[in-house]
């Protein structure tokens, strides 16, 4: 009973503000916001960059998560902890760190700029900021997912004649897919919601969170609410879509 | 043929220190040892999943010590079966064939053949959820055998099935062995498996082979109290051996063994006539199947005769274990239930006990 009350409080605390936000923005104003080119561009840019960051995080996070789950090497726990750091540092700090690391005057930023890839104040900067804050979610999702696949399954596949890569691709990867997708989904959501690091690294072009903040500071709450409600609906829609289209609970152990 | 030469390895908490072992072609070897003695690790080393620190592994005279697991042509059945949960039963079975590029109709034929022998034909198009332990067991066995491995490694294959399924599986395994003629190494902690299935048994303890040989021989002639205790060969007593005369005993087994002679084994409670090959501190094994028990004095022949009290009668099927005590020494005898009944033996009865000198195993 006490548990239900305490749990209920938390649900109210999470759902309440979101419901209040939608209540504050009648469908008409949300539709209007959706037709506003500035809002539309910002939302599209957000989805595009968040998706790009997630794809990169998944491509790089799967091998890393697998390694952390399977291989025992000196410092593997330390590395695991290190990779979780972006979750705990304030995001403006992340933005500043990224700027120092990828800016034109840094070694890496300099090389990339020569190759024609501008990071800071350009779209790749948005992706970099999103990647920085969301990659840990993919890595830990993948690590946990691979850790829950019994390594003996791969060993059986190996004795049945499969190569290490084949056993990974046919056994461990499919069995870990759900966990990896869950991590990727969280990472995507985390990217869409990012503000602090992006606003420092790439103020323009504006992603949705920056645009909403802009409108709030320049024109006040009423100007920010419709766009905010629209972003909420888009994020919610994508989450639901992935939950519905994603792999069903086929694996039982 | 499986041959291990001085196999040493260390992984996690396990350590094997110089394992020598040979299972002949189409033979059935058993490794028996307590939990945590490194049995599974040894199988994984043979399969190539755990690297050796030194030693060699030969399969059919080919040195595979450094070969990748997929090159060794081994079938491996883990205790937990480890069926692939995202595949159907049939996909599990064909996994090995898919990797070797066998023609499709040959694959179908092979899968059907083993599915029939192992009685899993009706399960082929199912998923693996909801299968019983016995079904999973047979599927895992079939999956390992489908690609015709040259070696089959079994890790406690009966650990998770009930008593009657265990009997069925033992028989199936014996049939399969005849049929497939695949060299098998089976690890277990169950002495019953060793006595029923194996042509060779090795007792593993503390990362070493404590004793190996034909199962019946090892069971009856343990070389250490540990082996005797672990196999449940009988009661081990500690005492000393004194020589009676110098005559070489007629029961000496072969010319390689040291000469054996009549002797007496002494403890504070007992004095037993034995045949020994050394004097001084020693252990003897009293095998329950060699102990004669009677309500009346036993006549003549067995040289060792004394009285003991019955402390407990323990019935297991048709066999009754009679727990006996003389002085402070406890030991056991096996009698049939009908003998117990005919003689009217009860707890606290004093009974005459007899055993031949040659039946007392000295080590």
Burial status of residue A154 (CB atoms within 10 A of its CB: 0-12, 13-18, 19 or more):
buried
For residue A248, list chain B residues with Cβ-Cβ distance below 8 A.
Answer: none
User: What is the longest distance spanned by two Cα atoms in chain A?
Assistant: 67
Of B80, B86, B147, the CB nearest to A174: B86
Question: Do B216 and B205 contact (CB within 8 A), yes or no?
Answer: no
Q: Parallel, antiparallel, or unpaired for β B361-362 and B280-286?
A: antiparallel
Q: Please say if the pLDDT value at position A251 is more than 50.
A: no
Residue B284 sits at φ, ψ, to 5 deg, of -125, 155
Q: Do B84 and A162 touch (CB under 8 A)?
A: no
How does pLDDT run across B70-121, given as a tens digit for each residue?
999 999 999 999 999 999 999 999 999 888 778 888 888 999 999 998 999 9
Identify which of B215, B195, B210, B222 has the alpha carbon closest to the alpha carbon of residue B361: B222
Which residues in chain A are contacts of B99 at CB distance < 8 A? 160-162, 166
- Cα–Cα distance for residue pair A127/B339, rounded to 1 Å: 86
- Three-class DSSP category at A214: helix
Single out the residue of B1, B3, B32, B6 nearest to residue B19, CA to CA: B6
Q: Stretch B294-308: mean pLDDT, rounded?
A: 82
Cross-strand partners of B294 = B352
Domains and CATH numbers, chain A: 30-252 (1.10.3720.10)
Query: Which chain A residue has its CA at the smallest distance from B69's CA?
Result: A159
**Apex CA B80: angle with CA B75 and CA B85, to 5°?**
85
Contacts of A251 in chain B (CB under 8 A): 85-86
* Pair of tokens at residue A155: 């060993």
Measure A65 CA to nearest chain B CA, in Å: 21
**What's the pLDDT at A250?**
47
- From the list B84, B86, B100, the residue facing A250 with the nearest CB is B86
Give pLDDT tens digits for A170-206. 999 999 999 999 899 989 999 999 999 999 999 989 9
- Residue A160, classed as helix, strand or coil, is coil
C-alpha R_g of chain A: 21
CB atoms within 10 A of CB B257: 9
Instruction: Report CA dihedral (B37, B38, B42, B45) to the nearest 10 degrees.
Output: -170
CA distance A119 to chain B (A): 42
Q: Which residues of B touch A252 (CB under 8 A)?
A: 85, 129
* Band of pLDDT at residue B296, cut at 50, 70 and 90: confident
DSSP bridge pairs for B281: B240
> CB distance from B143 to chain A under 8 Å?
yes
Angle (deg, nearest 10), helices B163-180 and B104-117: 130
Q: Is residue B274 left, alpha or beta, with left meaning phi > 0 and alpha meaning psi from -120 to 50?
A: beta
A13-48 pLDDT tens trace: 999 999 999 898 888 888 989 899 999 999 999 999
B34 pLDDT exceeds 60? yes
Nearest CA in chain B to A155: B49
pTM of the model: 0.84
Mean pLDDT of B285-306: 85
The band of A253, judged by pLDDT with boundaries at 50, 70 and 90, is very low
Q: Which residue has the tokens 């109290």?
A: B225
Degrees (nearest 5) of the Cα angle B267, B272, B274? 120
| Residue listed under structure tokens 């990012």 | A194
Q: Residue B232: left (phi > 0), alpha (psi -120 to 50), or beta?
A: left
Count of positions (residues) in chain B: 363
Cβ atoms of residues B23 and B138 within 8 Å:
no
Nearest to B81 by CA among B120, B52, B116, B50: B120
Distance in angstroms (rounded) separating the CA atoms of residues B290 and B353? 10
**Chain A residues in contact with B48 (beta carbon < 8 A):** 158-159
B-contacting residues in A 213-252 (Cβ below 8 Å):
250-252
**B239 - beta bridge partners?**
B282
Kindly list the residues from chain B whose CB atom is less than 8 angstroms away from the CB atom of residue A160: 70, 75, 95-96, 99, 143-144, 147
How far is it, in rounded angstroms, from Cα B250 to Cα A41?
A: 103
Is residue B24 within 8 angstroms of chain A, CB to CB? no
Distance CA A32, CA A30 (A): 5
Average pLDDT of the segment spanning B348-358: 90
Distance of CA B187 to the CA centre of its chain: 8
B128 and B87 Cβ atoms separated by less than 8 Å: yes
Q: Residue B46's closest chain A neighbor by CA?
A: A159
Give yes or no for residue B250 having a pLDDT over 60.
Answer: no
Query: Least CB-CB distance to A156: which of B76, B86, B147?
Result: B76
Query: What pairs with residue B260 in β-bridges?
Result: none
- Residue A246 has what pLDDT? 64
Lowest pLDDT segment from A75-89, A116-130, B212-226, B316-330: A75-89
Write out the two tokens for A119: 């990071």
Give the model's pLDDT for residue B251. Answer: 52
- Scan residues 152-171 of A and list those with Cβ closer than 8 Å to B: 152-153, 155-163, 166, 171
CB atoms near residue A107 (< 10 Å): 9
CA distance B61 to chain A (A): 19
Average model confidence (pLDDT) across chain B: 89
Closest chain A residue by Cα to residue B50: A155
Question: CA B282 from chain center: how many Å?
Answer: 25
The token duo for A44 is 């599209």
- Predicted confidence (pLDDT) at residue A208 exceeds the cutoff of 50: yes
Among all residues of chain A, which has the CA nearest to that of B91?
A170
CB contact under 8 A, B47 and A253: no
* Three-state SS letters, chain B: CEEEEEEEEEECCEEEEEEEEEECCCCEEEEECCCCCCHHHHHHHHHCCCCCCEEEEEECCEECCCCCHHHCCEEEECCCCCCCCCCEHHHHHHHHHHHHCCCHHHHHHHHHHHHHHCCCHHHCCCECCCCCHHHHHHHHHHHHHCCCCCEEEEECCCCCCCHHHHHHHHHHHHHHHHHHCCEEEEEECCHHHHHHHCCEEEEEECCEEEEEECHHHHHHCCCCHHHHHHHCCCEEEEEEEEEEEEEECCCCCCCCCCCCEEEEEECCCCEEEEEECCCEEEEEEECHHHCEEECCCCCCCCCEEEEEEEEEEEEECCEEEEEEEECCEEEEEEEEHHHHHHHCCCCCCEEEEEECHHHCEEC
Tell me which chain B residues have a C-beta less than 8 angstroms from the C-beta of A152: 78, 80, 82
CB contact under 8 A, A252 and B82: no
Nearest CA in chain A to B71: A161
């Amino acid at each position: 009973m006490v548990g239900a009350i305490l749990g209920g409080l938390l649900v109210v605390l999470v759902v309440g503000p979101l419901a209040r936000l939608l209540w504050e923005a009648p469908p008409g104003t949300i539709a209007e916001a959706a037709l506003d080119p500035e809002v539309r561009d910002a939302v599209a840019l957000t989805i595009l960059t968040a998706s790009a960051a997630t794809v990169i995080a998944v491509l790089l996070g799967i091998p890393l998560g697998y390694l952390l789950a399977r291989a025992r090497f000196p410092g593997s726990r330390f590395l695991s902890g290190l990779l979780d750091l972006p979750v705990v540092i304030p995001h403006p700090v992340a933005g500043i760190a990224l700027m120092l690391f990828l800016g034109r005057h840094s070694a890496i930023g300099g090389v990339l700029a020569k190759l024609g890839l501008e990071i800071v104040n350009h779209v790749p900067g948005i992706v970099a900021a999103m990647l920085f804050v969301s990659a840990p979610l993919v890595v830990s999702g993948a690590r946990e997912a691979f850790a829950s696949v019994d390594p003996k399954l791969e060993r059986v596949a190996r004795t049945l004649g499969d190569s290490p890569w084949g056993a990974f691709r046919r056994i461990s990867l499919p069995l870990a897919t759900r966990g990896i997708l869950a991590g990727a989904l969280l990472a995507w959501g985390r990217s869409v919601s990012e503000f602090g690091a992006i606003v420092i690294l790439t103020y323009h072009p504006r992603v949705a969170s920056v645009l909403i903040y802009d409108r709030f500071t320049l024109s006040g709450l009423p100007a920010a609410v419709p766009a905010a409600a629209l972003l909420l609906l888009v994020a919610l829609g994508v989450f639901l879509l992935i939950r519905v289209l994603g792999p069903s609970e086929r694996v039982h152990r | 043929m499986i041959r291990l030469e001085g196999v040493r390895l260390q992984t996690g908490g396990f350590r094997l220190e110089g394992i020598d072992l040979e299972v002949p072609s189409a033979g059935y070897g058993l490794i028996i040892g307590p939990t945590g003695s490194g049995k599974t690790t040894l199988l994984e080393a043979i399969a190539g999943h755990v690297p050796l620190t030194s030693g060699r592994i030969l399969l059919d005279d080919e040195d595979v010590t450094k070969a990748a697991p997929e090159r060794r042509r081994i079938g491996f059945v883990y205790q937990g079966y480890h069926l692939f949960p995202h595949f159907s039963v049939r996909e599990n079975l064909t996994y090995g064939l898919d990797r070797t590029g066998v023609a499709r109709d040959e694959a179908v034929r092979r899968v059907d053949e083993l599915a029939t022998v192992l009685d899993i034909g009706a399960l082929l198009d199912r998923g693996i959820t909801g299968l019983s332990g016995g079904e999973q067991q047979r599927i895992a066995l079939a999956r390992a055998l489908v690609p015709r491995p040259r070696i089959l490694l079994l890790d406690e294959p009966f650990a998770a099935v009930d008593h009657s399924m265990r009997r069925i599986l033992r028989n199936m395994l014996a049939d399969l062995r005849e049929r497939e003629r695949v060299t098998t190494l089976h690890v277990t902690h169950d002495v019953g498996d060793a006595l029923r299935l194996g042509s060779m048994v090795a007792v593993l303890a503390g990362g070493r082979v404590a004793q190996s040989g034909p199962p019946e021989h090892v069971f009856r002639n343990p070389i250490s109290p540990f082996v005797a205790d672990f196999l449940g060969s009988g009661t081990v007593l500690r005492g000393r051996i004194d020589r009676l005369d110098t005559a070489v005993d007629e029961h000496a087994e072969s010319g390689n063994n040291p000469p054996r002679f009549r002797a007496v084994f002494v403890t504070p409670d007992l004095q037993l006539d034995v045949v020994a090959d050394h004097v001084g501190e020693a252990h003897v094994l009293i095998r329950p199947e060699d102990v004669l028990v009677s309500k009346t004095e036993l006549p003549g022949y067995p040289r060792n005769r004394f009285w003991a009290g019955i402390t407990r009668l323990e019935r297991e099927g048709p066999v009754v274990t009679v727990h006996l005590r003389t002085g402070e020494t406890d030991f056991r005898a096996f009698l049939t239930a009908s003998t117990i009944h005919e003689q009217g033996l009860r707890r606290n009865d004093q009974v005459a006990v007899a055993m031949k000198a040659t039946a007392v195993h000295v080590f």
